[in-house]
Amino acid sequence: MHAFYDRMTDRTRRSLEAANKLAFDRKHPLVTNLHVLWGMIEEGRNIAFKVLSDMKVDLKVLKAEIEEFLGKGTYSSHDKAVCYDEDVRQVICDAISLSIKDKTDIGSHHLLLAILASDTPAVRILDRFNVTQELVDAYVGAVVKPVS
């Protein structure tokens, strides 16, 4: 297990596990930011899920669009876990930086904000739902209490 997992909330960890399971089940060679976004929605009890819900995003439709975009792969050499692609590794690093700045554990909202700062298909799909980094940041500020 990666060292950064110890600094993640349980819900964020479960979101990444759901992302990994989706990639594994769909026979994808790597976990991408779309898998991670799907995993946060699938977990369903995290801050990213709440923020997207509060923004009136139809999460069933968003999940379906992600699944359609990802499609089914043909990769069959996985043992039990799928590696993260470079974009996900960068998002995790950025989420760690955000959590350090907030003086909190790494939450799903940190991952969502880091995804929105990237240039990936996840951002383009979220853009179709009018989800921007600025709006998510504002909603996160309303949901998450600052640490004193």
Digits of tens for pLDDT over the chain (148 positions)?
466 777 889 999 999 999 999 999 999 999 999 999 999 999 998 999 999 999 999 999 999 999 999 999 888 776 777 899 999 999 999 999 999 998 889 999 999 999 999 999 999 999 999 999 999 999 888 877 665 5
Q: What's the pLDDT score for residue 75?
A: 84
Q: What's the pLDDT score for residue 144?
A: 77
For residue 35, with 0-12 CB atoms within 10 Å meaning exposed, 13-18 middle and 19 or more buried, which class applies? buried
Comparing CA positions, the residue from 21, 116, 79, 23 lying closest to residue 108 is: 116
pTM of the entire structure? 0.92
Q: What is the CATH number of domain 7-143?
A: 1.10.1780.10
* CA contacts within 13 A on the Cβ side of 76: 1
Q: What's the pLDDT score for residue 141?
A: 82
Comparing CA positions, the residue from 96, 91, 88, 86 lying closest to residue 22 is: 88
Per-domain boundaries in the chain = 7-143
* Distance in angstroms (rounded) separating the CA atoms of residues 35 and 145: 28
* Distance in angstroms (rounded) separating the CA atoms of residues 125 and 142: 24
Q: What's the pLDDT score for residue 7?
A: 84
Neighbours of 40 (CB within 10 A): 28
